[in-house]
Structure 1
Amino acid sequence: MSLPDGWVAVPLDELTSKIGSGATPRGGREAYGGGEIPLIRSMNVHFAGFDPEGLAFLSQAQADGLANVVVEESDVLLNITGASIGRVCLAPPSMAGARVNQHVCIIRLREVLARYVQSYLASPSMQQFILSENYGLTRQALTKGMIETIGVPLPPLPEQRRIVAKLDALTAHLARARAELDRVPVLAEHLRQSSVVAAFKGELSAAWRNENADVAKTSPVDLDAAYEAVAGQKRRKAAAAIDWQPDVKLPPHWRWVSVDEVLGVVQYGSSAKTSDASDGVPVLRMGNIQRGELDWGNLKYLPAEHAEFPNLFLEPGDVLFNRTNSFELVGKSAVFRGHEAPASYASYLIRLRCSGILPGLLVFYLNSPFGRAWVGQVASQQVGQANVNGTKLKGLGIPLPPEDEQQEMVRILTDAFARADRMEAEAARARALIDRLEAALLAKAFRGELVPQDPADEPASALLARLRTQRAAAPKAKRGRRPKEAAA
């Protein structure tokens, strides 16, 4: 890469007074927290800056064993191992006197702006280089020798200051834009949830009711007839009574019913062992229900001749209810809308075939804040998992509008959820554009195109010559042995 006049390309080692990482303190991780001297680990080093969350603390004796890696203000901190390899930030003033462990490297500069070097190491081209197969990724570790040989495009010191000032100003704007975009998923989810709550209070379909005032309330006789049409037989026993319902005042044409009153089939899935043999019948599991929809990735299969088939084949309109999962996820539901081939479902799911309610409306309710409040009341906890069985589900109270109004509610909610999805998609696209813009800005900065050059600046070659003279005159560091543990 050709550089502007006054710039030089130089190995990082020639710009530093120190490149070094720490080690595991005496006593190992079990001894963390026994003192007052901070120990910086890879979890504290992020591109967005230093994060003090999760700092470890060393006793004085432990810190003395890491005396060669004492942090100074504005040291560049670089993660050199594992999944966070390449993450880099500046040490804040509060970390002066801290130590680093074996996963973090201190890079201390001589007469070169640490912020300039930190920005260069964080740039996309350098990150790609650090993570490249021939450099860092396959090793999952950066050695001191590798870090020393990193080539740095070095501008004159005044230009370094101009570049850093410009980058700081631009990245501050980008950070504010990212912060605003980060709010979009929260706003989108608020739109979804507030829309569902308003729908089941009758607020979203109020205009429809004003235009259709003669619509009759769904009667128990209507529900019995709908049950018989779906189940293929009359009810053998009375539907379950309501055990729980939210405190909601319903419009005049609505009624409270138990979920059992509007279901024709409640059926558990297969507990048979599945396989990865994709020539079989796909079996949906709890992980295939994502945000109220079915995700057809990561499938397992049962043979087509499995004994429970075709009884457990899904039909379009079936609702799948997740009866066992973590507390946050148990009760999530989705509608099966069909598949190109027969499909089934596993035992942690319950198939619900609706009779007196539209499947989509039932799913909106089960996934709503009302549904989550109900789960909080009835879920039983078992070794990290929560369970809501079919019996409890049947006793859930649900508002039941007339069928035509149900269709209007599903239409309005589907539109609201689609708007929320578009908001998130547009925010994700904007975030990607910001990332590309930032990458382009950094690339321009280190090509000398972000700020103008000043011929009056002392050239970087003069700075480099001065650094080499200082380096040659500096006393050689003595390699000391780590002190032994004191005898007990």
Structure 2
Amino acid sequence: MLKDWIEVELGDVCFTTSGGTPSRSKSEYYKGTIPWVKSGELNYGLILDTEEHISDEAITNSSAKIFPEGTLLIALYGATIGKLSILGVPATTNQAICGIYKNELFETKFLFNYLFHKRQKLIEQGTGGAQPNISQAILKKLSLPLAPLPEQRAITAKIEQLFSELDNGIANLKAAKSKLEIYRQAILKQAFEGELTKEWREKQTKNHGNHVNQKNHSTDSLPETWKWVKLENLAVVGTGATPKRGESNYWQNGSIAWITSGALNDLYVKEASEFITEAAIKETNCKIFPKGSLLIAMYGEGKTRGKCSELMISAATNQAIASIEINDEFKEYKKYVKWFLLKNYDDIRMLSSGGVQPNLNLTIVKNTKLPLCPIEEQNQIVQEIETRLSVCDKLNESIDQSLEKAQALRQSILKKAFEGKLLSQDELQNCRQQPDWEPAAKLLERVKKDSKTKR
């Protein structure tokens, strides 16, 4: 900390209070024009309007109060705990929000950035179990660096400039990541339309004098040596079950891996989080699928439905998973089939049926058609896919590392800012030439004196 800075406790220099929720049974309370902020609306930006508005009567009959424009808001608990916003208009809040009134000691954005920097620390200090609370008592005990006002302004401006540059870099990285995903999908699409191996087929034509590069117009313009086949013609498609949870002899001391659809978000299933017993296999519809079986999630939360993975262990599954065991005569086709199922993710999801949570079923999986080509070309396609996507994966990994570094850099910028190390000597000298520059101790003394005079 610089010599002209001092450390103060938030409760000693800032006035804080929380809001309230008017009675929901009084519908007229929510027909007013006064903005009423809920903690879910705190988004690190400026709040100019809110989802709900309350009346003057609601304020009179509840603990809600009007905070002035410029008040800094922080969420005390809930999913948004520690999130911040600044009021761009006078507004009220619910009790999950603490308002920190604007004062003459701090530039609001300087304080905003400091609290953003300390968010994780505040959450860790929060009391409670699964969902911690930041109390006003914790907030009031928070140590703040008080800097001369011109330095606060200069630091805030520099943080905004550096964050803007950082945000532009992050946006470019995310755009590159999106383009990589588009490229990835294009590679898979071309692979199963015969485009990736077009030159390879032409070479085969020259070498063998056949016409493998011609189109088979009777099968949706596939190359002539390709044909559509149903998955059930290449593999045994089955499913598992969930042993009754109340039967301890199905679960207690189990040693057989049992997989649910949530495990299919990775390309390979290498371990299980639950295990069942031999009794569960014998007495229920559970069955053990061999290592190497392909799995498709027939239903599950979010993006799980339609995901494809490969068992790297022998395991049973629940009924939300379809197991695909490639027939012995087609064992060499497995890599090709797996890549097709990965490529087919969006298409197979569209075939799902049902209401709120659409499902696939065994019939849909069995009837899935894939474009089959000779094994030599399958091997070539798999090689092309894996070579190109391996480059994609390396680039993607590099982008993810850069994104992580960008987030770390954001915290590094804030750390330097509040240690007094962000501004150069020239920038600090420029601050000291401002008419309102004074050491923080004198600033605090003057504001306290002015406050007593006003009383």
The residue that corresponds to 1:84 in the other structure is: 80
1:35-434 equivalences under 5 Å are 35-47=32-44, 49-50=45-46, 55-65=51-61, 69-91=65-87, 93=88, 96-111=89-104, 112-123=106-117, 126-133=118-125, 136=127, 140-213=132-205, 214=208, 248-263=220-235, 265-273=236-244, 279-291=254-266, 293-296=267-270, 299-304=273-278, 306-307=281-282, 312-325=287-300, 328-336=303-311, 338-339=312-313, 342-355=314-327, 356=330, 358-368=333-343, 370-376=344-350, 378-381=351-354, 384-434=356-406
The residue that corresponds to 1:10 in the other structure is: 8
What is the TM-score with the length of structure 2 in the denominator? 0.83
| Distance of 2:49 and 2:233 partners within structure 1 | 51
How far apart are residue 150 of structure 1 and its match? 2.0
Asked if the contact 2:286–2:317 (Cα under 8 Å) also holds between the matched residues in 1, the reply is no
Count of residues in correspondence between the two structures: 430
What amino acid does structure 2 have at the position aligned with 1:269? G
Asked if the contact 2:65–2:93 (Cα under 8 Å) also holds between the matched residues in 1, the reply is yes
| Distance of 2:374 and 2:334 partners within structure 1 | 14
| Distance of 2:175 and 2:240 partners within structure 1 | 39
Asked if the contact 2:16–2:99 (Cα under 8 Å) also holds between the matched residues in 1, the reply is yes
| Distance of 1:110 and 1:328 partners within structure 2 | 48
Asked if the contact 1:11–1:148 (Cα under 8 Å) also holds between the matched residues in 2, the reply is yes
Indicate yes or no: 2:23 matched with 1:26: yes
RCO higher in structure (CA 8 A, sep ≥6): 1
The residue that corresponds to 1:462 in the other structure is: 442
| Distance of 2:306 and 2:135 partners within structure 1 | 49
**Residue 55 and residue 373 in structure 1: after superposition, are their counterparts in 2 closer, same or farther (change >3 A)?**
same
| Distance of 1:462 and 1:320 partners within structure 2 | 70
What amino acid does structure 2 have at the position aligned with 1:73? E
- Percent identical pairs in the alignment equals 23
Deviation track 1:108-144 (CA, whole Å, cap 9, x = no partner) reads 1322200111111111xx23431234x5566822333
**Residue 258 and residue 33 in structure 1: after superposition, are their counterparts in 2 closer, same or farther (change >3 A)?**
farther
Aligned partner of residue 419 in structure 1, secondary structure: helix
Asked if the contact 2:259–2:272 (Cα under 8 Å) also holds between the matched residues in 1, the reply is no
| Distance of 1:449 and 1:253 partners within structure 2 | 69
How far apart are residue 167 of structure 1 and its match? 0.8
Structure 1, unaligned runs of 5 or more: 219-246, 476-488
| Stretch deviating more after TM superposition (270-279 or 169-178) | 270-279
| Distance of 2:209 and 2:322 partners within structure 1 | 33
How far apart are residue 296 of structure 1 and its match? 4.2
What amino acid does structure 2 have at the position aligned with 1:267? G
Asked if the contact 2:22–2:64 (Cα under 8 Å) also holds between the matched residues in 1, the reply is no
What is the TM-score with the length of structure 1 in the denominator? 0.78
| Distance of 1:318 and 1:433 partners within structure 2 | 38
